[in-house]
Amino acid sequence: AGRNTSGQSKNKLDLMYQSNFLGHFLLTNLLMDKLKGGRVINVSSVMHHFCGAEPKETPEYWKSRAKYSTDPPPGVYSATKLAAILHSIELNRRFGESHGVYSLAVNPGGVNSDIWRGFPAWLRAIFRLVYLTTEQGSVPLIAAAVRDDWKDQGVIYLQPYWIPSFFAQQRQQISPMIPFTEMLGPYVGYFPTKSRLPEDGGIKAGQILWQVSEELVRQAP
């Protein structure tokens, strides 16, 4: 993520939404012909759990988060992190067979990164004590990029913390873990985990998100 604070972009979009997701969507589309047989890694976050109960399968949901407002709806940052996962799902659906592309989304964990640059110094000092280093946060991203068996396992989401063995054995069948386990759990580098998606696995929401994103980038001056 580039930002966790809002503002208005020169395209009259929410700067956080544009920086954290829409720009990545556009870049990926522009590079698609060069990505044949490649892998796309989207950076998500534990915050994707906190998008609320509002249906994600409507254009209105995504447009309301993307367009700048002085009174923005709740959860814009969370929406950008859910969008990262849905983008991976839709990339696999659209280009998995035709281009040989495989995409995963990664929550790097609670990381003491530059994203906290606008926070008070005393709070950033606490983050240095309790959050992962940037090197630790990079491990699940590298694992997503280089391991060859994620597609065979059906994995689309990684995070860096250990989860109890019962959940680990059944992670593809159960509900997502409670968010705390994806924030400050025991660090193990990377761990395939079930993300929090709409009931159909995010298929319809991913399709709607793609359509809205194409519309938004076409409208940008």
Query: Average pLDDT for residues 65-77, to the nearest whole number?
Result: 91
Chain segment 33-49, per-residue pLDDT in tens: 999 999 999 999 999 99
> Is residue 157 over pLDDT 70?
yes
Residue 213 has pLDDT above 50, yes or no: yes
What pLDDT sits at residue 175? 47
Q: How confident is the model at residue 101 (pLDDT cuts 50, 70, 90)?
A: very high
Mean local confidence (pLDDT), 109-131: 90
pLDDT-derived band at 183, boundaries 50, 70, 90: confident
The whole-number average pLDDT for the span 145-160 is: 95
pLDDT-above-70 percentage for the chain: 91
DSSP string over the chain: ---SS--B-TTSBBHHHIIIIIHHHHHHHHHGGG-TT-EEEEE--GGGGGS-SS-SSSHHHHHHHHB--SSPPS-HHHHHHHHHHHHHHHHHHHHTTTT--EEEEE---SB--GGGTTS-HHHHHHHHHHSBPHHHHHHHHHHHHH-S-HHHHT--EEEEE---HHHHHTTTTSPPPPGGGGTSS-EEEEEE------TTTTHHHHHHHHHHHHHHHHH--
In this model, does residue 152 exceed pLDDT 60? yes
